[in-house]
Structure 1
Amino acid sequence: MFLLPEYDTFWILLLISSLIPILTFQISRALAPIRKGPEKLTSYESGIEPTGDAWIQFRIRYYMFALVFVIFDVETVFLYPWAMSFNVLGISTFIEVLILVLISIVGPVYAWRKGALEWSQLPGIWVVERKWKIS
């Protein structure tokens, strides 16, 4: 069917897994009722009449913590299979993984030294607090 017969199952699975979300969204769009109005366009505030806009700015620190988490999470994904086959792979693979760990530690250490991972208020940064009006 495709270039290599060993990969036929893979290509069929890839095609099916790509078509299912596309078809799901198309069927949902075709069957969903379309009712546009001012009530549908307002933000929902747990039954309370919304005041102001719904846009809230998050601090960049949250994204820094998320980025550090993703870095170590991806590193764990690579380290787990290596740890399971450590006896088979030998010392050269151990050195390569050690280099991977050392390189991936440099980023969070740099962010830590720059103060990006501190929760305290930094001088020169203003935080606007939102005050909700409940009537």
Structure 2
Amino acid sequence: MLTNYFPILLFILVGLALGTVAIGVGKVLAPNKPDAQKLSPYECGFEPFEDSRMKFDVRYYLVAILFIIFDLEIAFLFPWAIVLDKIGVFGFWAMMVFLGILVIGFIYEWKKGALEWE
């Protein structure tokens, strides 16, 4: 029983060994020339002028959430397209209802101005 898991254990051990060797070689061979600019928290050329924990506009989060929602719903189209010939007319119309609800939600968000960016 446990012999079935030996290749997995071997794979994990080889991966850990390769990762450890790569990090070790990088630490030994990498140039280490620290100076004040490299050790500063900002390498962009100027000191920060505002608090790094500034608040983002709510619209940013709204657009991100809408993108995730619509992107995940569109992901349902791929498996549906693969088995479309097997699920027949009922599956086709079920997906059309799903897409109709998706389009209604998209139009609602569009009319509410959630997709507008000022």
> What TM-score do you get using the length of structure 1 for normalisation?
0.49
Alpha-carbon separation, structure 1, partners of 2:48 and 2:66: 35
| Corresponding residue for residue 81 of structure 2 | 83
The reply on whether 1:45 has 2:42 as its aligned counterpart is yes
Alpha-carbon separation, structure 2, partners of 1:118 and 1:52: 27
Superposed CA deviations along residues 48-88 of structure 1, whole A, max 9, x for unmatched, are 43344212222222222222221221122211011011111
Contact 1:65 1:117 in 2 (8 A): yes
For the pair shown, the structure with the greater C-alpha radius of gyration is: 2
Letter of the 1:108 counterpart: F
- Specify the SS of the correspondent of 1:117: coil
Q: 1:92 aligns with which of 85, 90, 93?
A: 90
The reply on whether 1:115 has 2:102 as its aligned counterpart is no
- Specify the SS of the correspondent of 2:60: helix
Aligned residues: 81
The reply on whether 1:70 has 2:68 as its aligned counterpart is yes
Alpha-carbon separation, structure 2, partners of 1:84 and 1:63: 33
Which consecutive residues of structure 1, in runs of 5 or more, have no partner in the other structure?
1-8, 10-42, 121-135
Alpha-carbon separation, structure 1, partners of 2:42 and 2:105: 39
Deviation at 1:91, TM superposition (A): 0.8
The answer to which structure has the higher helix fraction is 2
Alpha-carbon separation, structure 1, partners of 2:53 and 2:108: 31
- Specify the SS of the correspondent of 2:76: helix
Deviation at 1:108, TM superposition (A): 2.2
| Corresponding residue for residue 30 of structure 2 | none
- State the percentage of identical aligned residues: 41
The reply on whether 1:56 has 2:80 as its aligned counterpart is no
Alpha-carbon separation, structure 1, partners of 2:114 and 2:74: 23
Alpha-carbon separation, structure 1, partners of 2:75 and 2:92: 16
